Amino acid sequence: MTQGSFKGDRASQWLEDNTAIERASRWHLCPLPGGVVEIGAHWIHGPSQGNPVFQLAAKHGLLGEKALSEENQLMETEGHVDLPSVSYTSSGGRVSLELVAEMGSLYYSLIDQSREFLHAAEAPAPSVGEYLKKEISQRVAGWTEAEETQKLKLAILNNFFNLECCVSGTHSMDLVALAPFGEYTMLPGLDCTFPGGYQGLTNCIVASLPQDVIIFNKPVKTIHWNGSFKEAGSPGETFPVLVECEDGGCFPAHHVVLTVPLGFLKERLDTFFEPPLPAEKAEAIRKLGFGTNNKIFLEFEEPFWEPGCQHIQVVWEDTSPLEDDITPLHDAWVKKLIGFLVLPAFESSHVLCGFIAGLESEFMETLSDEEVLLSLTRMLRRATGNPQLPAPKSVLRSRWRSAPYSRGSYSYVAMGSTGDDIDLLAQPLPVDRGKAQLQILFAGEATHRTFYSTTHGALLSGWREADRLIALQDPQAQLQGSRV
């Protein structure tokens, strides 16, 4: 039973009444010579005392000294990503880091403003993207630089839009609702990683469970609920839920905690539940957003970047957030890459990690490794101005849209939806519990109203549902979730 994702979501695991629900592994560790890379969940976002993932990681000794420092925990980043160490243009030049910082300051001031309309009587635009573009257009009208410089500034801003698509897990910020955007809550602390990989945390969690209670490789076909099912080992006892697996196996249960990704629910909505979900919950699932964010790792024999370089950016000079790119995906998908992080050097490997979201990310999944490697080699040779730049010796990438039990990466509040839809998704079944006992409980990042898309949101949602079950048995029990 496994779960996780890129932005750091879904780390909690549960068993109830001997029923195991298999979930998509959206954290995943892959080996490279001399080390490992995270295919899925990467960072602890907001590593501070209010973050339960950070608390557990610290408790189990999984973090480095810097991540545990008080200074690191108190740092307020407001979700702003560090600026690049070097910024190349698509024509082989370099962008002044001062100009990148100037555009970063403008962009982040606008993205911060876009979080201020949660309680407004009326939002100034329906989507975050439309609001940002409207504000940028007003700024552009006052620019006095040469036309070439103005175009470069817009191209830099376009990179920040692509970055925000990765952060929000969406194809376009035009799809993200503006009014509820400020409900997402950011915790203090400078984002940090697990030196030994995210899986170290889940290993610690699993180690605390009794042996032989987790069942792996048992995909679920249908959850039957509001029924009266029997089990041979429990004569005379009936169960309201029956979990039917794809291999024909069945698990009767009193309660099931369901943590499948929202993308899976969207795809299997009409077949996964019997009887079907209540119309209101089904509509919430349809309305909420769920996008694809992928990583592409490039391994080099020797680094072409300078010592100390942490983040490489490529600015495509023919792009602008104010104009739609109509270039076919086959030729334009690499433009959606927000750049590359330089990973700590392994014993014999030097690795860049690129990030890409949206339809371009999904198109990338359809390509062969050779096609991806060729496209990115061409891009890096073009950007660095070095046609002899050695090609990466290997490529490794995630394919979250293609993963059958994920169908994407993580959720966002889409146009036409609100935080109320998240609460609807989180509501247990049956809704009228005066007539029937608690049967299906919903958890996972997409069910946390203020921490959706994060690992700590997933973990808190799991504690929430565990507390709900504990309270059924002992209303006076000290509940875990109430301590965070």
106 pLDDT tier (thresholds 50, 70, 90): very high
**Looking at residues 107-134, what average pLDDT do you find?**
97
Tell whether the model's pLDDT for residue 319 goes beyond 50: yes
Parent domain of 3: 1-484
pLDDT digits (tens, 9 = 90+) for 53-94: 999 999 999 999 999 999 999 999 988 989 999 999 999 999
Domain with residue 333: its CATH number is 3.50.50.60
Mean pLDDT of the chain: 90
The pLDDT assigned to 481 comes to 52
The pLDDT assigned to 43 comes to 93
Least confident of 40-44, 179-183, 253-257, 424-428: 40-44
Query: 12 or 173, which is more confident?
Result: 173
Q: Note whether 96 and 145 are within 8 A (CB).
A: no
Using alpha carbons only, give the angle 12, 276, 423 rounded to the nearest 5 degrees.
45
> What phi, psi does 131 have (nearest 5°)?
-65, -45
How many Cα neighbours within 13 Å face the side chain of 263?
A: 25
Q: Note whether 465 and 443 are within 8 A (CB).
A: yes
Nearest C-alpha neighbor of 194 from the set 35, 335, 34, 398: 35
Tell whether the model's pLDDT for residue 482 goes beyond 70: no
Give the other-Cβ count within 10 Å of 483's Cβ: 9
Nearest C-alpha neighbor of 372 from the set 401, 342, 400, 330: 330
Angle between helices 199-207 and 52-59 (to 10 degrees): 70
pLDDT digits (tens, 9 = 90+) for 224-267: 999 999 988 788 899 999 999 999 999 999 999 999 999 999 99
Nearest C-alpha neighbor of 422 from the set 184, 250, 220, 227: 184
**Beta-bridge partner residues of 411:** 290
pLDDT digits (tens, 9 = 90+) for 414-473: 999 999 999 999 999 999 866 678 999 999 999 999 999 999 999 999 999 999 999 988
Tell whether the model's pLDDT for residue 32 goes beyond 70: no
Its pTM stands at: 0.91
Look at the chain and report how many structural domains it folds into: 1
The pLDDT assigned to 122 comes to 95
Query: 79 or 338, which is more confident?
Result: 338
The pLDDT assigned to 31 comes to 57
**Strand, helix or coil for residue 97:** helix
Q: How far is residue 90's CA from residue 97's CA, in Å, rounded to a whole number?
A: 16
317 pLDDT tier (thresholds 50, 70, 90): very high
Q: How far is residue 314's CA from residue 384's CA, in Å, rounded to a whole number?
A: 9
